[in-house]
């Protein structure tokens, strides 16, 4: 798997569904450069079990991300038609109707591969190209700053759902660091003091906590 922290996020241009119902071509994260932070997350598959709990949870907190000038974008290896159908299925029937942030279609599995979250790989076997593993994405999440640089990533195995609260905390931590020049200690939350990245700052922090 790739460690992308500190590097430019891979570039892509793909089909997506936006506003819960509209198809769009050539969707790219580059539209947010210089404007917004991005939480870009992968999930394994539409019409499954853990996945709707995550997508709906991000939607339930979408206003909080927007207040932090942060775009939320999802991606899986399903087609745009599968995304559209899932987005138009009621939640009490296993759908995610009401989700409005963009969902990217990665049918070629190129984006998942570039971000290092594809749960398998293509290999040649007796002269034939075959996929070995599970042709879906792990639960990868990437926090990308306004310059397009990945500042945080976390990758969960397929059965393990993620914490939206932790994603918000990491956005807060990045913004705090950028605005104040102080680093964020363990379990830091918005409203708490940071630390100066010096031995004196460490002593000061522990003296006050």
Which residues participate in catalysis according to the annotation?
A: 51
For residues 77 and 93, what is the distance between their CA atoms, to the nearest angstrom? 22
Q: In this structure, are strands 103-105 and 70-76 parallel, antiparallel, or unpaired?
A: parallel
């Amino acid at each position: 798997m790739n460690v992308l922290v500190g590097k430019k996020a891979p570039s892509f241009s793909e089909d997506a569904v936006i506003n819960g119902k509209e198809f769009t071509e050539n969707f790219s994260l580059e539209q947010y450069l210089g404007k917004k932070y991005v939480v870009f997350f992968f999930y394994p598959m539409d019409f499954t079990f853990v996945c709707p709990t995550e997508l709906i949870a991000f939607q339930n907190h979408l206003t909080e991300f927007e207040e932090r000038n942060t775009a939320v974008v999802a991606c899986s290896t399903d087609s745009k038609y599968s995304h559209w159908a899932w987005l138009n299925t009621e939640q009490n029937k296993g759908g995610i109707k009401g989700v409005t942030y963009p969902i990217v279609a990665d049918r070629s599995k190129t984006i998942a591969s570039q971000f290092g979250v594809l749960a398998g790989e293509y290999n040649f076997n007796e002269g034939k190209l075959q996929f070995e593993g599970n042709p879906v994405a792990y639960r990868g999440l990437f926090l990308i700053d306004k310059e397009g640089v990945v500042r945080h990533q976390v990758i969960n195995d397929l059965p393990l759902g993620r914490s939206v609260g932790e994603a918000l905390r990491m956005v807060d931590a990045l913004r705090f660091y950028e605005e104040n020049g102080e680093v964020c200690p363990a379990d830091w939350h918005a409203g708490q003091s940071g630390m100066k990245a010096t031995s004196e700052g460490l002593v000061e922090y522990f003296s006050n906590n």
